[in-house]
Amino acid sequence: MNDQRYWNPKTETMPRGDLERLKLHKLRSLCSFAAEKSPFHARAFEAARFRPEQLKTLDDLRRVPVMTRAAWMESQAKTPLFGDLVAAPPEAAIRYHLTSGTSGRQPLRVLDGMKDWEWIAECWCYGFWAFGVRPTDTVFFAFSYGSFIGFWGAHYCCEKIGSLVLASGNMTTENRVKQIVEMGATTVCATPTYALRMAQVARESGLDLPGSGVNKLIVSGEPAGSIPAVKRMLEEQWGAKCGDTAGMTEIGTIMIFECDRQPGGTHIIEDHFIEEVVDPETLEPLPYGAEGERVVTSFGRGFLPLLRYRTGDLVKKVPHTHCSCGRTFDLYEGGILGRTDDMKLIRGTNVYPRAVEAIVREFDAIDEFQIVVWRKDDVQDEITVKVEVKPDRGAGADAMLAKLGGDLAAAHEGLRFNLERAEYGSLPRFELKAKRLKDERRRA
């Protein structure tokens, strides 16, 4: 039981039957807690005529009503600021984070208590340890440390592991790559897009990243980390092996990680989450190998109990035997494969076209608009909003565009939107369902 390859040998190598029993135990415990403490869940349970005592086997999970982001956001709109999903007194929280909303300006707000915040770091530990991060490592975080939860948990995970942590905060890209080389960082954490950008800046600055001490690049925030072509590019440009992780603000941490065997998939942290793969139309469970929507139940964040939460992520689950590392945790082949909805991830930030539209439509001088997602220099994801200003409202258009850019950024964790004024009548018009989003990024 003292195998140093695993962060937690007991559960990471636990026989599947025991793992299922453990998940059932935690599910019962969390459902009972949620029924008692979370009005959101108490209401949903009653509507579905579900009682936690009905959970006799893990198959009974299907009795638990599914939860959607829209319902969560509605609860926050009705009961500001945090809604009635919260199962602990808000004054017991020590952290507040947010993510962009699915519509308009309203963000999704999350709170964490002391135990939950430590648990967030704990889940990262499973992934970082599995990819080889140890106390002897020096880990650099290319992360802005704002209200976006991003790599916050990973930072504390590395402190817990005992690595030397380099927090880059608001440094410029040039200064970041310089510090990575100067400090002899062995591990760098960033979004895949930003990792490519740093490699580009390093080349322009004459810094030899492949010859530096970096031997591990751990990425998160975008599906690109599991796309073989992008991974190859990152590994070549950094001279380091590249490991993928994925999480979401709604759970606060990662739920999947790539181990150092890199079998072409990411292990699910199965003692802390139930990850279902379902048909997005019928919500029926899908077998191994079938692509479907991720539905997550998270055991660690009791402040905000997430039960059967529909994520909109597309995944394909395969058995643990696809990897030779010895873990009994199943995998998602190819990581996160895409989305069931129209959400776009731009430099780690969620962008919902309908949320952009809601803000654009507050400017009555704008007649038509188009959202274009593109890739700069084949490296950096960008988002441009092209707008047509009504012919009689041209005066003051520049100031209006500046305000629109500011409002869009404020609703999206500071993400920079490029604003472009299009010639009147040049953008497409729609008679039926409008398609105002163009994604010009090359598929890998």
Partner 1 sequence: MDKDLLGNRTTEVEREVARLYDALKALARRADAPPCVARNARKALTCLWQAANDLALVHEQLYDLGV
DSSP type of residue 285? B
- Closest contact distance (angstroms) between CB of 321 and partner 1 is 22
Supply the minimum distance, in Å, between the C-beta of residue 338 and partner 1: 32
Smallest distance from partner 1 to CB 69, Å: 23
Amino acid letter, 425: G
In the complex, the smallest distance separating the C-beta of residue 155 from partner 1, rounded to whole angstroms, is 16
Q: From the CB of 115, what's the least distance to partner 1, in Å? A: 5
Beta carbon of residue 118, minimum distance to partner 1 (angstroms, whole number)? 4
Of the two residues 270 and 293, which places its CB atom closer to partner 1 in the complex? 270
CA 83 to mean position of chain CA atoms:
21
- Which of 22, 427 has the CB closer to partner 1? 22
Burial 126-146 (b: 16+ CB within 10 A, else e): bbbbbbbbeeebbbbbbbbee
- Bridge partners of 380, per DSSP, are 376
Supply the minimum distance, in Å, between the C-beta of residue 331 and partner 1: 20
Using alpha carbons, list the distances in angstroms from residue 305 to 17, 41, 107, 116, 411: 25, 8, 19, 11, 25
For partner 1, the closer of residues 29 and 200 by Cβ is 29
Q: Please spell the DSSP secondary structure of 327-360, one letter per residue.
A: ----EEETS--EESSS-EEETTEEE-HHHHHHHH
Angle of CA points 260, 262, 265, to nearest 5°: 130
77 versus 114: smaller Cβ distance to partner 1: 114
Smallest gap from Cβ 253 to partner 1, in A, equals 12
- 8/380 with CB nearer partner 1: 8
Minimum CB distance to partner 1, residue 263 (Å): 23
Q: How far apart are CA 277 and CA 426, in angstroms?
A: 43
DSSP sequence for 230-271: HHHHHHHHHTSEEEEEEEETTTTEEEEE--TT--SEEEE-TT
Tell me whether residue 118 or residue 260 sits nearer to partner 1 (CB atom). 118
Residue 380 structure tokens: 């950096």
The answer to whether the beta carbons of residues 294 and 313 sit under 8 Å apart is yes
Q: Considering the complex, what minimum distance in angstroms separates the CB of residue 8 from partner 1? A: 5
First to last CA, the chain: 41
Q: In terms of CB distance, is 271 or 333 closer to partner 1?
A: 271
CB of 17 to partner 1, least distance (A): 10
Element (H, E) at 375: strand 366-376
Tell me whether residue 120 or residue 314 sits nearer to partner 1 (CB atom). Answer: 120
Specify whether the CB–CB gap between 311 and 295 falls below 8 A.
yes
Task: Return d(Cα 83, Cα 40) in angstroms, integer.
Answer: 8
Interface residues with partner 1 (CB under 8 A) are: 1, 8, 10-11, 18, 21-22, 25-26, 29-30, 33, 87-89, 92, 113-115, 117-119, 122, 271, 299-300, 302-303
Nearest distance, CB of residue 145 and partner 1, angstroms:
21
Given a contact cutoff of 8 angstroms between Cβ atoms, the answer to whether 136 and 205 are in contact is no
Token pair recorded at residue 32: 């009972």
Q: Which CB atom, from 120 or from 336, has the smaller least distance to partner 1?
A: 120
Asked if residue 157 lies in contact with residue 125, where contact means CB atoms within 8 angstroms, the answer is yes
- Nearer to partner 1 among residue 271 and residue 275 (C-beta): 271
Nearer to partner 1, 18 or 362 (CB): 18
Whole-number Å distance between alpha carbons of 93 and 88: 8
Which residue number, 112 or 330, has a Cβ lying nearer to partner 1? 112
Cβ contacts of residue 344 below 8 Å, gap of 6+? Answer: 350, 351, 352, 353, 373, 383, 437, 439
User: With contact defined as beta carbons under 8 Å apart, do 325 and 5 qualify?
Assistant: yes
SS3 content of the chain, % helix, strand, coil (to 5): 35, 25, 40
Six-digit token string for 240: 């380091």
